[in-house]
Amino acid sequence: MLLEALTSTAPSFPSFRRQCPTALSCHVSFDVSGLNTRRNPTMKVTACSKVESSSFPLEKKRKVVEHVCLLKAKQVLSDKDEKDMLDYLYTSQYQMRGIVAVSLGRISNDNVENYTHAVFMRFQTKADVTKFYENPFYSKVLKEHVMPYCHDLVNVDYESEVEDDMLPIFRKGEEFNYGVEFVHLFAFDDSALGAPVEDALASLEKLRKEFPSLIVQSTQGAYEMRIAF
C-alpha cells in the first residue's frame, strides 16, 4: 500500500510530544472528493516537508496559506448527512474569494484522536484566511451543516510556498486528478526547536526525494491551531 510504503521507510526525527489532547503528532490520510469536479486528485500535504512537485522544475516561488480542518463526526451520521456536510464545505470556495484549491473526504486510516473527515483548502494570503473565518456564509455552513453532525473540529493553518505557476498553485493537471491526501502534523518538544527541527525537515525532504513518483506535491510550515466544539 502507498501509505505503508511511505511510513515504513520514514527516517527518525528529534523527539516531539503532544502539547494538548488535540495538538497533533500523528498523520491522517483521506480519499478526497475532488477539486473542481469532485473527483480524486493526487497530492501529499505534509506540515513538515519542503514544497516541491515531481513534475515541475524549480522556479520562482509564491507564498500560499494551507488550511486543514479535521472533523470528528458523530457515529449516527448517515450517508445523506455526510454528503450534505461535505458538499456545503466544498462549495464554500464559490462563495468566498481567496480560495484557490479545495479537497475533502473521509479519513481512511485509524488515528488516536479519532478524526473521521478532513478538509484541505489553499488560500492566496493570510488576509484571505482571516476573511474566511469571519465570513457569514462560512459561519452558517458550520452552524447548520457541520456542527450538527460533528463532536468537534480542529483547524490548522500554515504559510508555505509553491512554484509560481498556475498548475502547481491551483493544483491543476493530470497528476492532480486522482489519489489521496496525506497530512502529517507535528508538535515538537521545546527542546527540539531550532537545529533539531531543521534536521527533521531535511529528513522529510530526503524522504520526498526518495519517492518522486508517489508524491505529486508537498508543503511545509509552522502552523497555528484553532479548536472548535
pLDDT tens for each residue of 74-133: 999 999 999 999 999 999 999 998 999 999 999 988 888 899 999 999 999 999 999 999
Q: What is the mean pLDDT of residues 31-55?
A: 41
Residue 14 lies in a domain: no
Check residue 7 and give its pLDDT: 30
- For the chain, percent of residues with pLDDT exceeding 90: 39
At 149 the pLDDT is 96
- Supply the CATH number for residue 216's domain: 3.30.70.100
Residue 155 domain-assigned?
A: yes
How much is the average pLDDT of 144-157?
Answer: 94
Residue 11 lies in a domain: no
Separation CA 89–CA 126 (nearest Å): 20
Nearest-angstrom CA–CA distance, 172 and 36: 9
Q: Do 51 and 220 form a contact (C-beta atoms < 8 A)?
A: yes
Q: 478526497: which residue's cell?
A: 32
CA-to-CA distance for 99 and 132, rounded, in angstroms? 9
Quote the domain boundaries for residue 166.
29-228
Residue 227: CB atoms within 10 Å: 12
Residue 10 resides in a domain: no
**In the numeric block, which cell numbers belong to residue 182?**
496525506
- 217 vs 117, higher pLDDT: 117
Q: Taking a C-beta distance cutoff of 8 angstroms, is the pair 186, 82 a contact?
A: no
Largest CA distance in the chain: 48
Query: Could you give the number of structural domains in the chain?
Result: 1
Residues in Cβ contact with 100 at an 8 Å cutoff, skipping those fewer than 6 apart: 64, 122, 123, 124, 169, 170, 171
| pLDDT confidence band for 210 (50 / 70 / 90) | confident
Number of Cβ within 10 Å of residue 67's Cβ equals: 21
Whether 2 maps to a domain, the answer reads no
**What is the three-class DSSP state of 159?**
strand
Is there a domain that residue 130 lies in? yes
Kindly report the pTM of this predicted structure: 0.73
Domain-located, residue 193: yes
Please tell me whether residue 193 adopts helix, strand or coil conformation. Answer: coil
For residue 22, being part of any structural domain is answered with no
